[in-house]
Structure formats: structure tokens, C-alpha cells
Amino acid sequence: MINLEVPKKARALVNQARQAAAEVFRPISRKYDRAEHAYPTELDMLASLLDGLNSSGEGGAGAAGVRRNDDDKRNGNRNGGNLSTVLGAIEMCWGDVALLLSMPRQGLGNAAIASVANEEQLKRFSGLWAAMAITEPGCGSDSAAITTTATPDGDDYILNGEKIFVTSGERADAVVVWATLDKSKGRAAIKSFVVEKGTPGFEVVRLEHKLGIRASDTAVLRFDNCRVPKQNLLGSPEIDTKSGFAGVMQTFDNTRPLVAAMAIGVARAALEETKRLLEEAGVKIDYDKPANAQHAAAAAYLQLEADYEAAYLLTLESAWMADNRKPNSLQASMAKAKAGRSVVDITLRCVELAGTLGYTEELLLEKWSRDAKILDIFEGTQQIQQLIVARRLLGKTSAELK
């Protein structure tokens, strides 16, 4: 039976993550929002601490993998790395989501490596900071429409193509690139490759200026006859038209709950700040009275808080299922869809409830409302998540329900 209370073994981690968010992230949040593209050097020591937590098996607030290993099944419920990572991410993003995305060696590419890599690759890429490169100029939400090619050539693959909106694309040590081995075979031929910085033919074209998450660098990458060793392909090189895309898509079973956790952290930060402002203004939020018998601002706050709780529970469920080796693609998409939409609604309403204070830089509310939107977009947009949920519930394939 699933228990969605924070497990005792994770409480120390949650407390440590909350302290890091309060003492490291919050004080520099506005500084790096204004200094877009400047690397937050304050994160280096914190990143080393998270490396230690991850290597000890306790889990940090960064990237972990969803590994389906039948030999690792255990009796009873397990609360492992995925749940710990989600809980840690919630706390850290209560501090600042862009700074978490800027943490060394905690990139989404690290989640891909942790999920799909074989044992030799896990050891070889240990300690590497990896970004994730999926989106292309002509390929947004449909990840199966990848046009970047990987052509076998002796002991290497030759990569050609362009990737956009790559988080940590400039700062990371390597990039996990999605490319197709054979366009004629569709999504089954799409594989992921680890391309390290300094590889000839790999170029960072530019950095984007963004609405939110400004502390995080977002890059455009180009691959021009970029030669990558065959041993850098994650998973099997075989093209299986029945399940060939499942390997790379398995990454999303982990990263979507992680992005949902980021959204929950931002939403909670906005709710806590708004509650403080309402109480200072003399608006009491009474959980023992019906909403329609309270101040309009209190009633609105209760509605937002209920939305937050629903997203929070869905996210914990998807992470718990991953820890217990249960297929969680449906729950991961449900959590991502709910949390992504909720954080946008919550932060904007909180700005509204705070009035002029919410719209100025005196508080972080306006920043959180800007940061929130990307959490409803990347790792699959709101519309794509709803489509995935519909396919799962109706038993339809991607060809049957578009």
C-alpha cells in the first residue's frame, strides 16, 4: 500500500535541502535573475555536497535515474532515490528553480545517463555534468520527429543537426543528444548519444535571453560532422520497431516527476509569501470555515492551496512508483500536467492577491510567476501530457490518437 507521507529516512535530506534553499539560493536569487548568463559560483560547494549525498545512496536534489532491473526487486514498499530526489527538488526550488537547474552535475542529461546507460557507461560518465538536447528548430513537442542524424562510420557515429533550448548547454561537460540512425524507420531509430565538450564538430551557437529561469543558461547547439565513439550510445544500438523508442523515452519517467517537483517548490514559495502578506493585511485563512463564509482573498487562497496539494500528491505517487519498479509513465505525465498548469495559475493569482507588491521587484513573487511558465512547457508541454494521459487511459497508440 502506498503511503504519501514523507518517509522518515528522507526527513534529514528534506531538512538539509530546505536549509540550502534558504541560506544559499534565496539570498542570491534576485542577483542572478538580473545577471543573466553569469555563472553562480556560490553553487560549486553545494554541488559537491550533493555529489556526496548521491554517491552515498541517500539521493540529493538533482538528477537520478529510473532503472528497470528485475533482479533488484524487493518485497514490500521502497522509498528510494526517486522519491528522495523529488522531495529534495521541491525544497530547493522553494529557494530558486533556476539555481537548481544551474547546479553542476545535476542536469537532465545526468538523469538520462542514470536511466539508460549500461554499467560500464555509468562508471565512465560518473562525475560528468550532462545537459539534454532534444528540441530542434522544426521539432518541438513531438520528440519522435527528430531530424538530427547519427551515421555509423567505423568505430564512430557521425552526428549532424541542430538543437535548441538546451538547459546548461554551455556550462555542462557533455550533452546527451537525441538523433536518428535511420529516418525511414521512424521513432524506433532514435537513440541518445553522450557528446562531450571539445569534440570536433560540436559548437555552442548562442545563449537565449528568456522570460524566466534567467540564472540558468539555455543554449543553441550545432553538430557538423561531429564524430562520437560508438560506446557513447546509451542503450542498445539495435533498431527495434516494436520497442526501440522505449529506451530513450524511459528518461521522461524520471524527469517529468522531477519537473513537477520543481513546479511544486515554486508554487509553495508563492503560497507561503502570499499567506504572510494576507495575514499582515488582517485577512485570516480559517480551515474550519467554508470558503464562501470567508474573505474573498482567503477563499481564493484556499482554492490555490487545494490545487497545490493535488499536484504534490500526484508527484509523490509517480516517484514512489519508480522506486518500486512499477510502470509510471501515466502517473509521470499526470503529475507533470497538473503541476505545470497549477504553478502558473498559483503564481499569477498570488501576484494578483499581493497587489502592487506582487508586481514589483520588492518581492520575489513576480520572479516566481516568470519562472513558472517554463515548468509547464519543457519536458513535454501541457497539451502533450494530456495527449499521453488520454492514450494511456483509452489504450490508444500514438498513431491512433494524435
Q: Which of 244, 126, 227, 232 is CA-nearest to residue 188?
A: 244
pTM for the complete prediction?
Answer: 0.91
Task: Specify the CATH architecture of the domain 8-124.
Answer: Orthogonal Bundle (1.10)
The pLDDT of residue 64 is above 90: no
The pLDDT of residue 61 is above 50: no
- pLDDT tens digits for 75-124? 567 778 889 889 999 999 999 999 999 999 887 888 888 888 899 999 99
Angle at CA of residue 14, ends 11 and 17, nearest 5°: 150
CATH domain 130-234 topology: Butyryl-CoA Dehydrogenase, subunit A; domain 2 (2.40.110)
**Pick the residue with more confidence: 48 or 34?**
34
- pLDDT tens digits for 286-339? 999 999 999 999 999 999 999 999 999 999 999 999 888 889 999 999 999 999
Supply the pLDDT for residue 185: 87
Per CATH, is 246-394 categorized as 1.20.140.10? yes
- Cα(329)–Cα(244) distance, integer angstroms: 16
- Given the residues 136, 162, 317, 379, select the one marked as catalytic: 379
Verify whether residue 238 is a known catalytic residue: no
Residue 282 neighbours by CB under 8 Å, 6+ apart: none
Determine how many CB atoms are found less than 10 A away from the CB of residue 200: 9
Residue 215 neighbours by CB under 8 Å, 6+ apart: 29, 32, 33, 35, 36, 40, 96, 98, 99, 101, 102
- pLDDT tens digits for 232-251? 999 888 887 665 555 556 66
**Pick the residue with more confidence: 64 or 40?**
40
Mean pLDDT calculated for residue range 27-54: 87
Q: What ranges do the domains of the chain cover?
A: 8-124, 130-234, 246-394
Kind of pairing, strands 174-180 and 130-133? parallel
Determine how many CB atoms are found less than 10 A away from the CB of residue 304: 21
- pLDDT tens digits for 338-389? 999 999 999 999 999 999 999 999 999 999 999 999 999 998 899 999 999 9
Could you tell me the pLDDT band of residue 60, with boundaries at 50, 70 and 90? very low
- Cα(200)–Cα(223) distance, integer angstroms: 9
The pLDDT of residue 4 is above 70: no
Mean pLDDT (the chain) is 89
